[in-house]
Amino acid sequence: MASTASSGTVDQRNSGVSSAGVQDWPKPRSAWYAVGMISFISVLSNIDRGIISLLVEPIKRDLQVSDTEMGLLIGFAFSFFYMIVGLPMSRVTDVRNRRNILTVGLSIWSMATALSALAYSYLTLFIARGIVGAGESVKGPTSMSMISDIVPRSKLPRAMSIYSMGIAGGMAASMIIGGVLLELVKDITPIHVPGFGLLRDWQFVFLSCGMPGLLVALVFFFTVKEPTRKGRKVKGSVPLPEVARFVWSNKRVYVPLLLSLAIGAIESFGMSAWRVAFFERTHGWTPNQVGPLLGFAALLTTPIGLVIGTLIAERLDRQKIPDAMIRLCLYSNFITVPAAIAMPLMPTPWLSLGLIILSGVGNAIGSPGQNSAIQIITPNEMRGQLSAIYLFTISVVGAGLGPLFVALITDFVFVDESMLRYAMLATTAVLGPLGLLLTWLAMRPYGEAVTRVLKDEAEQARR
């Protein structure tokens, strides 16, 4: 499946790019430094993306908006522009310098986060969030494509674990940093900015979170090199019809896999976007209290889960189990789904937090497999575009619909903001088991696809 010639979708051409048989991997020190920098950029990305979830109530207070409008702001505003920019840029990622693309994207989304501090209305904040989404749309395809060319496949689950640590670390940091900043600025008198109006507590948080990314962009540009692309058979961008034919010819694996990721992302983003509001409305905890607790919980659970997931993935790989990456995702779902369903029903905030911790461990266990799966079965010359589709299911479908899904149930089914816990329960009870079923359906065809990959690579090595 990794050989496009064997799938009949891409002609082999004498392109002069690195072949699968000659792998000029970077030196280990440079490789792991680059992976670490990409992971740190992911931290910044998820801080800038996730910080708004901590600011739901202050923004609602000052801009006078409903839960549904906040759901659109958290999800749709980000995801719509992510989609509009991300899909065409994924084709550019497959042929242009990924280091440069990621540097520009980081600079754009960091500046947009900082400029969110000047938002004086719902519309201006909506536009700022859209620019953040547009900038961040290049992060996933460039990062995952670069990592797959920085480390060999035997080390890919470990590298993807480090990358996943950046994602989870950013989400955790958004809670911790946001909570600390809100506590620091809660007694500060709003500052009048000529032409914009008052600069309030939540706007100070946006400003503080956005500026560091500009410095990191410079460091990344001058210290990380663009890696050589491995195993390409096509010079230039693969035509879209050929990409579509490749996906269609392998629909038995891609369709259930991508659908399971989309369903899981809707549930995950929906729950995480409203957790702070859930604790505030149900248990009386303020954002200043619950933000750091959720952040430190994520910092505790993510390394534990990622280490367990990496060890399981590497052991399954050594045992030559073809469906290892999807099997790992299935194991993860057996932990996360029951915990997520039970969480909103707990009688105390500490029990709810405990189940969030358990769910966090389960999610992290599946991350190495989830992030490695698409890279392993997709030809190099299509990885940027297939990674964009993969990330589309998470960052557009999941992040766009998840927060809105929960808000619509709260506003139009229960018609009561205090019933948020039951809206979260309904979301997990429906989507959780459905995602688990789709993951199971993807496992067998994925194993068959990996078997074809290994056979193709063995034939190329003998030539």
| Residues 346-367 pLDDT 10s | 999 999 999 999 999 998 898 8
In order of their start, the domains of the chain are: 24-225+249-462 (1.20.1250.20)
More confident residue, 284 or 8: 284
What does pTM read for this prediction? 0.67
Q: In 3D, which of 22, 385, 12, 386 has the Cα closest to residue 235? A: 12
How many CB atoms within 10 Å of residue 22? 9
Answer yes or no: are the C-beta atoms of 183 and 63 closer than 8 Å. Answer: no
Per residue in 189-217, pLDDT tens? 777 777 666 778 888 889 889 999 999 99
SS3 197: strand
Closest CA to 77 of 119, 139, 18, 26: 119
> 102 or 80: whose pLDDT is higher?
102
- Going by pLDDT thresholds of 50, 70 and 90, the confidence category of residue 421 is very high
CB 151 within 8 A of CB 39: no
Rounded percentage of the chain residues whose pLDDT exceeds 90 = 33
Q: How far apart are CA 39 and CA 164, in angstroms?
A: 7
Cα–Cα distances (Å) from 189 to 57, 119, 184, 185, 394, in that order, read: 18, 17, 12, 8, 39
Cα–Cα distance measured from residue 139 to residue 384, given in angstroms and rounded to the nearest whole number = 11
User: For 56-60, what is the mean pLDDT?
Assistant: 86
SS3 299: helix
Q: Give percent above pLDDT 70 in the chain.
A: 92
**pLDDT given for residue 17 in this prediction:** 38
Query: What pLDDT, in 10s, does the model give residues 372-411?
Result: 888 788 887 777 678 777 777 777 777 778 888 898 999 9
Q: Which residue has the higher pLDDT, 342 or 258?
A: 342
DSSP E strands in 184-225: the ranges are 191-193, 197-199
pLDDT class for 58, splitting at 50, 70, 90? confident
What's the pLDDT at 1?
36
What is the secondary structure of 113-150 as a DSSP string?
HHHGGG--SHHHHHHHHHHHHHHHTTHHHHHHHHHHHH
Angle at 146 between CA 143 and CA 149, to 5 degrees: 150
Place of tokens 């052991």: 315
Task: Residue 75: name the closest of 446, 427, 407 by CA.
Answer: 407
Residue 442 banded pLDDT, cuts 50, 70, 90? very high
Is 231's pLDDT higher than 70? no
- Which pLDDT tens digit goes with each residue over 148-205? 889 887 788 888 888 888 877 887 888 788 888 888 877 777 777 776 667 788 888 8
pLDDT of 12 > 60? The answer is no
Angle at 142 between CA 27 and CA 96, to 5 degrees: 90
Strand 197-199 relative to strand 191-193: parallel, antiparallel, unpaired? antiparallel
Q: Give 349-379 as a DSSP string.
A: HHHHHHHHHHHHHHHHHHHHHHHHHHHHHS-
